[in-house]
Amino acid sequence: MLCADPLTSPMSSDSEPSTQDGRTATDHPRPDSGPQPHVPGQSTTASHPADELLLEADSNATPHLSVVLPTLNEEAGVGECLERAKNAIAELGVPAEIILSDSSTDRTPEIGREMGAIVVEPDRKGYGYAYRYAFDRARGDYLVMGDADTTYDFEQIPRLLDYLREADADMVMGSRLDGKISPGAMPALHQYVGNPLLTTFLNVFYGAGVSDAHSGFRIIRREAYESMTLTSTGMEFASEMIMEAGAQDLDIVEVPIVYHEREGEETLESFSDGWRHVRFMLVNAPGYLFSVPGLVLSGLGLAVMGVAASGVSVGGVNPGLHSMIAGSLLTIVGYQIGTLGIFAAVSSDPIQQLEDPITTWATDSFSLEHGATAGVLVFTAGGGYAGLLVSQWLSSGVGSVAFTMEALVAFTAIVIGIQTVFSSFYLSAVSD
């Protein structure tokens, strides 16, 4: 799903990705080297080459490009971001629209309107919802997304768009981790722990195959976006888009970019937002959350019980009754966790569907009668031995009865049998 950028190779700290106009991607022109960025509080009167290309919300023309920026009190940086987006539009020479999905209490929306942006106001809070709200109103063939805090250089839009077309991909992402991160632009915790870890989760759980899963600078084809079912409202929206792209077998390519220091106050909350990403990924991958741990624990428990019952010495140690008890607990807990995986697959619609043979068989071939019958048979086998123990207990004058490994196996079978019967009824109820 990932293609390498043929124009750039993995970079050392001394190498820089280049742009089409000969500048390096690390060049971040300031006001004295190009069109003047907007200054908060200052009226915009000078015309821009892109002004005649920018379409208003009620225009009958169809924009080729929709640049969407979610904004929450970004007056310190939104002007420069809009200026750079307009420079990119002028370079492309195509009709376009810039949309601010705004929930600000400062002058951000006024600055946006002064500079030709369409300002929409989402009726709910959240980073992800702001994007979804704007995308539903965007009309471009290509949807550009990025933050309005100057961390992303929107003058790089033509470069990303060219590579998206050349690679014939569905989405292109700017990779900060394969590119360059300017000093002070990203906390060390995010750069070396958070982003690499979350990216690894996405690659392992969903086969994303990307180097920087949470880069916010992306361009996606409209038809690709419309093929996704995106529902998240918070920061996990960035993860959901990658997860859905994997589920829809969309092609994602990456281009190294420079990540700049932000203007204005940081709105990201490292631990709570990071946890939202992890939680969202796990909930939508029940195979990794439930089925795999369940199979591992059950298999380990059965192995321990088998070794303990056989009396085989392991490393000079003879497992006994206590090992049997531990094996029984592992087996029961593993069975319960695995059952939850089946419930999750049937009662919800996770992005990453379960594919292990046991769960696939259970979800495809399950019937209440078969499940309940199997549970009754397992319960009966264990209950028969338990009944024999009760008989011995009564015949001995209600005296003490030795607790044996065989008795523990029987009790384990009783618990699993009962779980199977009631789980079958529950599974039947949620699957109807």
What pLDDT was estimated at residue 278? 77
Confidence (pLDDT) at 3: 46
By 3-state DSSP, what share of the chain in percent is helix, strand and coil, each rounded to 5? 50, 10, 40
Give alpha helix (H) positions in 348-404: 357-365, 368-395
pLDDT at 44: 44
pLDDT for the residue numbered 233: 92
The whole-number pLDDT of residue 428 equals: 82
**SS3 at position 208:** coil
The DSSP output letter for 194 is I
From the list 116, 53, 52, 56, the residue with the least C-alpha distance to 81 is: 116
Instruction: Give residue-wise pLDDT tens across range 205-235.
Output: 888 889 999 999 999 999 999 999 999 999 8
pLDDT value for 322: 87
User: Could you tell me which residues are beta bridge partners of residue 255?
Assistant: 174
Dump pLDDT digits (tens) for 144-179: 999 999 999 999 999 999 999 999 999 999 999 999
Task: Indicate the burial class of 32 (C-beta count within 10 angstroms; 0-12, 13-18, 19 or more).
Answer: exposed
Note the pLDDT of residue 13.
Answer: 36
Lookup: tokens for 418:
């009962």
**Measured CA distances, 284 to 82, 250, 304 (Å):** 36, 18, 32
Residues of the chain scoring pLDDT < 50: 2-45
Whole-number pLDDT of residue 359: 64
Going from N- to C-terminal start, the domains of the chain cover 2-279, 286-431
Helix, coil or strand: residue 291: helix
Inter-residue contact 7 to 259 (CB < 8 Å): no
Q: May I ask the CATH class of domain 2-279?
A: alpha beta
- Spatial CA neighbour of 257 closest among 186, 175, 192: 175
pTM of this prediction? 0.70
Contacts of residue 86, Cβ cutoff 8 Å, sequence gap at least 6: 35, 48, 49, 50, 51, 54, 98, 115, 116
For residue 47, the model assigns a pLDDT of 84
Rounded Cα gap, residues 320 and 39, in angstroms: 77
